[in-house]
């Protein structure tokens, strides 16, 4: 095993609790699109796997691991009077103002990882502008060497473009980098990039969903320092 020199984090469901952010976003977005008509919003919500009444996503929802472009493509046929650009503008505007709940206290954790000499990045299937807004709201933007959304020019996950761009920008060997995420899209992207995939259970996927794609599945990112320490001791013993 090689020493870990960097970590790329997914954003939603990894740095931030998925349900808190995106259940509020989906309700606000759908009601805005439907001009407050809750019956229509509930019907349209089914298209993206969202139950407006229960404020819950189905495990198969395109919102969980998809890009805003994919969400917009699913919804656009129901709003033919709008351009796709206008639809995405509303989608991203509501995303920027969606409430954030950190999965764990982020600044202390990220600070600890930085003091260990690790380079850090964010690779999300959200758009870059709302992603940066969320990181800024949490006061953690400065911890990251690299931040990319699906629209940053590297593609979206499960393709490895964002992750390879992180490795190129930081000069790190991908085999020494963790890709940490809550979905199979994240872990498949990590494997495709030649990184070490690490799953966390702060999204909607289960241990069973993630285990076959990950080197390890942790309860949340707060367990990373102890896991890395155990991994380093194992390397020293080999």
Phi, psi of 211 (to 5 degrees): -60, -35
Which contacts qualify for 38-47: CB closer than 8 Å, 24 or more apart? Answer: 44/75, 44/78, 47/74, 47/75, 47/78
- Tell me: pLDDT of 85 over 70: yes
CA 110 – CA 11 distance, rounded (Å) = 13
Please tell me the least confidently modeled range out of 17-26, 49-58, 74-83, 139-148: 17-26
Residue matched to tokens 């969606």? 98
Q: Which of 221, 153, 162 is nearest to 186 (CA)?
A: 162
Q: For residues 55-84, give the mean pLDDT.
A: 92
Q: Which of 3, 6, 5, 10 is nearest to 147 (CA)?
A: 10
CA 144 – CA 208 distance, rounded (Å) = 30
CA 10 – CA 28 distance, rounded (Å) = 23
- What pLDDT, on the 0 to 100 scale, is given for residue 64? 85
Summarize pLDDT for 189-201 with one digit per residue, the tens.
Answer: 999 999 999 999 9
State percent of the chain over pLDDT 90: 83
CA 232 – CA 235 distance, rounded (Å) = 5
CB of 27 closer than 8 Å to CB of 94 = no
Summarize pLDDT for 105-117 with one digit per residue, the tens.
Answer: 999 999 999 999 9
- What pLDDT, on the 0 to 100 scale, is given for residue 237? 63
Nearest-Å Rg of the Cα atoms of the chain is 18
The token pair that represents 189 in the structure block: 């992207």
- For residue 231, give Cα distances in angstroms to 1, 2, 3, 172, 238: 9, 10, 9, 19, 11
Spell out the domains of the chain, with CATH numbers in brackets.
6-17+101-237 (3.40.50.1000), 20-96 (no CATH)
Q: For residues 159-172, give the mean pLDDT.
A: 98
């Amino acid at each position: 095993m090689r020493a870990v020199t960097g970590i790329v984090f997914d954003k939603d469901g990894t740095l931030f609790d998925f349900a808190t952010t995106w259940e509020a976003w989906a309700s606000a977005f759908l009601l805005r699109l439907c001009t407050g008509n809750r019956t229509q919003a509930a019907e349209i919500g089914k298209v993206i796997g969202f139950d407006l009444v229960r404020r819950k996503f189905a495990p198969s929802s395109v919102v969980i691991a998809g890009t805003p472009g994919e969400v917009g493509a699913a919804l656009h046929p129901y709003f033919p009077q709008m351009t796709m650009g206008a639809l995405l503008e509303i989608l991203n505007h509501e995303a920027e103002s969606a409430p954030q709940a950190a999965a764990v206290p982020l600044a202390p954790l990220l600070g600890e990882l930085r003091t260990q000499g690790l380079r850090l990045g964010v690779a999300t299937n959200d758009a870059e502008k709302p992603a940066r807004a969320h990181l800024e709201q949490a006061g953690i933007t400065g911890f990251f060497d690299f931040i990319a959304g699906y629209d940053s020019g590297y593609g979206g996950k499960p393709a490895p473009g964002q992750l390879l761009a992180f490795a190129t920008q930081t000069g790190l060997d991908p085999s020494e980098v963790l890709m940490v995420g809550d979905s199979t899209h994240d872990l498949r992207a990590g494997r495709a990039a030649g990184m070490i995939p690490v799953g966390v259970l702060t999204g909607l996927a289960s241990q069973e969903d993630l285990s076959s794609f990950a080197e390890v599945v942790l309860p949340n990112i707060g367990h990373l320092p102890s896991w890395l320490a155990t991994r380093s001791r194992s390397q020293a013993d080999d």
